[in-house]
Amino acid sequence: MKSGDITINDPNEVSADVVNHFTKLFTSTTNVLQNDMVQEVIPHLITDRINNVLTFLPSLEEIKNVVFSLNKDSAPGPDGFGALFFQKYWEIINQDVYKAVIQFFTTGWLLPNFNTNILVLIPKTNNAGSMDQYRPIAIANFKFKIITKILADMLASIMPAIKVLESFGFNAIFCKWIKAILSSVKNFYCYQWKAAWFLFLF
């Protein structure tokens, strides 16, 4: 693996280079100025009814529907359990899953490492040799996927409010993208290419 002009082979150095690369990539030094004019110009779009919909606690049946709607062949996260396990043994584990999900929605707190991901680096080329030639894919714990899918479904239920964006002059294509993002949950898959790939656990 190359870091600038230097070739590094030690796993610890490679790991540090990966962390450093993505820290620089996703850390912004841009100063954002507070501007209250936006709040004055754009009215509140979320009504009390919509807020009530967004804060309903999911039922056991809703959680089950989410579990069985997710791809059973998706790669397992750091906990080692994928959708297939949850679907096959649902009758045994459903109360434990329900309690874990409801705990988040009632307290806003996640168990430690609940949202831990495995970062898989996929080479963009056959001879990838530096970090900018890899594409990261995150593989999440399945219970975290359940929560994010429930949240996405809640947001999808208020899609008519998103239509208002077009009346403010936002491009129809942009609005379509927003609708697509809110209507679906991104499942993460891990593909192994011919070149080597690396796993980093955060």
Provide the pLDDT for residue 62: 95
Instruction: Identify residue 105 by its one-letter amino acid code.
Output: F
Among the listed residues 137, 145, 138, 139, the one whose alpha carbon sits nearest the alpha carbon of residue 86: 145
Provide the pLDDT for residue 196: 34
Number of domains in the chain: 1
End-to-end CA distance of the chain: 20
Contact 139, 77 (CB under 8 A): yes
Provide the pLDDT for residue 119: 77
pLDDT, averaged in runs of 10, over the chain (202 residues) = 80 82 72 60 66 84 95 87 94 95 86 79 85 83 89 75 60 60 40 35 36
114's enclosing H/E stretch is none
Contact 124, 135 (CB under 8 A): yes
Domain that holds residue 37: 2-201
